[in-house]
Amino acid sequence: MARYSASWATITAAAVADTTAFVAGQAPGFLRAGAATQQAKINEVYIGGEDTASTPTSMVLARNSTISVGALSVGQNNLLDASATAPGTLASFGSTAATTFPQRSSSGYLLDLSLNTYGGIARWQARYGEEITVIGNTAPLGEVSLSSRAGTGKTSGHIIYELV
């Protein structure tokens, strides 16, 4: 099993309504499993605020009702254990979709990670066996988005996940 860190730097979130397609740079990122049977287990979500003034921002990790199509870019997706062997098909992470952007589900909220992005942080860690899973590459279970429901804070952070 290979563990990865999907990370982003200095993204100014835009508050996007549910079931509305994202556009480039509006969200820290989208995590999509790489194959029909691939499972990604999310172990940790960390968001660090980088604004120069008080900016309350309600970030949400949610399933997508419409998943992205094409390569995802603008973000990092790196193997944590240098000695691990990466699987043949990798999960995708990024805030920009090559073809079609995803839409956050109005009924698929998993975590609400509100913070004041004037130096605030939000961190969630799963206990063993209680990870959030992404499975397959079709809606609604094949992709999650980390995005703003309200507020326009600037953040950097990571999502640590394991491919099984």
**What are the tens digits of pLDDT across the range 88-124?**
899 999 999 999 999 999 999 999 999 999 999 999 9
Cα 60 to Cα 114: distance, rounded to the nearest angstrom = 8
- Contact by Cβ (8 Å): 126, 43: yes
DSSP-based helix, strand, coil % in the chain, nearest 5: 0, 55, 45
Task: Calculate mean pLDDT across residues 49-70.
Answer: 97
- Find residue 40's DSSP bridge partners: 134, 163
Mean pLDDT of 15-26: 96
- What is residue 88's predicted lDDT score, i.e. its pLDDT? 85
CA distance 8 to 11: 7
CA dihedral 138, 78, 121, 101 (to 10 degrees): -30
pLDDT for 1 equals: 75
Question: Does residue 53 register a pLDDT over 80?
Answer: yes
Cβ(96)–Cβ(27) under 8 Å? no
Contact 53, 121 (CB under 8 A): no
Q: What is the mean pLDDT of the chain?
A: 96
* Residues of the chain above pLDDT 90, percent: 93
Strand partners, 162: 3, 41
What residue spans define the domains of the chain?
A: 2-163
DSSP state of 150: E
| Percentage above 70 pLDDT, the chain | 100
- Residue 71 to residue 73: CA distance in whole angstroms: 6
